[in-house]
Amino acid sequence: MVQLTEGPGFCYPLYYYVPSITRDDRFVVYHRADDGEVQLHRVDLATGDTLQLTHATGANTWWRPWCIDAGSGVLDFRSALNGPRGEVVFFDGNQVRTVEVASGATRDLFDLPEDRLAIGQNCVTPDGRWFVYIHADRETYEGMFDGNPDYEEYWRRRERARATRLAGYNFETGEQRTILVLASPIHHVLPYNDWDLLFCHPTAENGMLLTDIEGGWYTHLRTQDETGGQICHFLATARGATYEVLWGANGPRGGICDPPTRATYEVQLPAGFNYVHTGLDPAGLLWFYENHGPDVHDLQLLERHDPAGSDTWLTLAGNWPTYGDPDSQKAHFHPQVALERQWILMTGGDAATETNQVFLLDISDLSATRGIPWPASASATVR
């Protein structure tokens, strides 16, 4: 392990659906939540020097209901790195701005109307052309949280959502485009490639949906199965969209889907797995999972899959404590393979300060998961 950040406060990368490391592998962009404020910072991997990138003053930054309130600053978990341009898009309230990672120079992009609210985790297409973002009717959305409901109550209130928009901003032309309008909150959007987009969740269940930059349509890639299993987290890789299935009667499963054909392949995860986040390997070669339960928090790699049922697993990080709200996004590992496939970038606990910080885990000695009989083939744009 190499620890990249340290206290005070809690440090965590951009949400792991999108990159946190610049294209030249020089800088890691991360949040620091401390003393009632959350801002974006970066660490220089060549020198270890850090720089505060944003000085946002927006209120109500809380990404509800999954996290804990970090105070004022940037809208928590809603920033996105534009790799080709070397800048990060962030929300200062309803003002959308970018900051150049190397220099810290900022510029304005556009403003959301005051009756709208950015509610989900956003992305930039890999070619750097489009910022794709989620916004909702402010009054309707904030009304879903009257009385500070718990997660289950929030889920029941989702049917109140109206006119949530998946939108795109073109960095080259300044064009604004409405891609979809849905009567449902959208939690995440991420690029499958330069054109196609994955997003979630429909009102009635968790699920992985597909659309594209042109918009006006969407489809469901894997519906809820007969046991009640639903896709929760999913990630774009060169071999397809990897995901985990939760809440099914037969326990959690890991899987991969080829969006053009809708073909899937799934493996049973160990019986001891609790709440799962699928780890991100952009190449789709390593099948690994964050397992988070009442008495465990570890990172497990599927070394070899045996369709007959005798899979081989390796613990990459065992029972590592994290601090603060155990259900908070700031406490999850959210692991992603990075830096020429030599490291996993992740959040972990720092026992000395009882905070969560940004770490690198050396995986240079790992081989690709063996025995998967159907890896989805790398595909071009979905049409």
Distances, alpha carbon 141 to alpha carbons 71, 112, 163, 186, 330, in Å: 19, 15, 10, 11, 23
pLDDT of residue 192: 97
SS3 104: coil
Query: What residues does 257 pair with on adjacent strands?
Result: 241, 264
Per cent of the chain over pLDDT 70 is 97
Work out the average pLDDT over 347-358: 95
pLDDT of residue 108: 98
Domain 231-383, CATH number (from 2.130.10.10, 3.40.640.10, 3.20.20.70, 3.30.10.20): 2.130.10.10
**Contact of 279 with 344, CB cutoff 8 Å:** yes
Q: Which helix (H) or strand (E) holds 37?
A: strand 37-44
**Contact of 290 with 274, CB cutoff 8 Å:** no
What CA–CA distance (Å, rounded) separates 93 from 214?
Answer: 27
What CA–CA distance (Å, rounded) separates 87 from 101?
Answer: 5
Per-residue confidence band for 377, with pLDDT thresholds at 50, 70 and 90: low
**Contact of 246 with 206, CB cutoff 8 Å:** yes
What CA–CA distance (Å, rounded) separates 302 from 231?
Answer: 19
Q: Which of 76, 81, 73, 67 has its CA nearest to residue 28?
A: 81
Query: β-strands 123-124, 72-73: how paired?
Result: unpaired
Which tokens sit at 227? Answer: 């046991």
pLDDT over threshold 90, residue 57:
yes
pLDDT of residue 43: 98
What CA–CA distance (Å, rounded) separates 198 from 23?
Answer: 22
**Contact of 15 with 50, CB cutoff 8 Å:** no
What CA–CA distance (Å, rounded) separates 187 from 141?
Answer: 13
What CA–CA distance (Å, rounded) separates 354 from 323?
Answer: 6
Per-residue confidence band for 308, with pLDDT thresholds at 50, 70 and 90: confident
Q: How many residues can be counted in the chain?
A: 383
pLDDT tens-digit readout, 105-164? 999 999 999 999 999 999 999 999 999 999 999 999 999 999 888 878 888 898 888 899
pLDDT over threshold 90, residue 62:
yes
| Alpha helices for the chain (secondary structure H) | 138-143, 151-157
pLDDT tens-digit readout, 255-273? 999 999 999 999 999 988 9
Domain segments of the chain: what residues? 231-383
- For residues 308 and 365, the model is more confident at 365
Task: Kindly report the backbone phi and psi dihedral angles of residue 259, in degrees, each rounded to the nearest multiple of 5, phi listed first.
Answer: -55, -40
Burial annotation 146-166 (CB, 10 A radius, 16+ → b, else e): eeeeeeeebbebeeebeebbb
38 contacts: CB under 8 Å, gap ≥ 6: 31, 32, 61, 70, 71, 72, 73, 74, 76
CA 80 to chain centre: 10
What is the pTM assigned to this prediction? Answer: 0.95
Q: Which of 29, 2, 33 has its CA nearest to residue 16?
A: 29
The residue type of 143 is G
Task: Kindly report the backbone phi and psi dihedral angles of residue 219, in degrees, each rounded to the nearest multiple of 5, phi listed first.
Answer: -145, 160
pLDDT of residue 184: 92
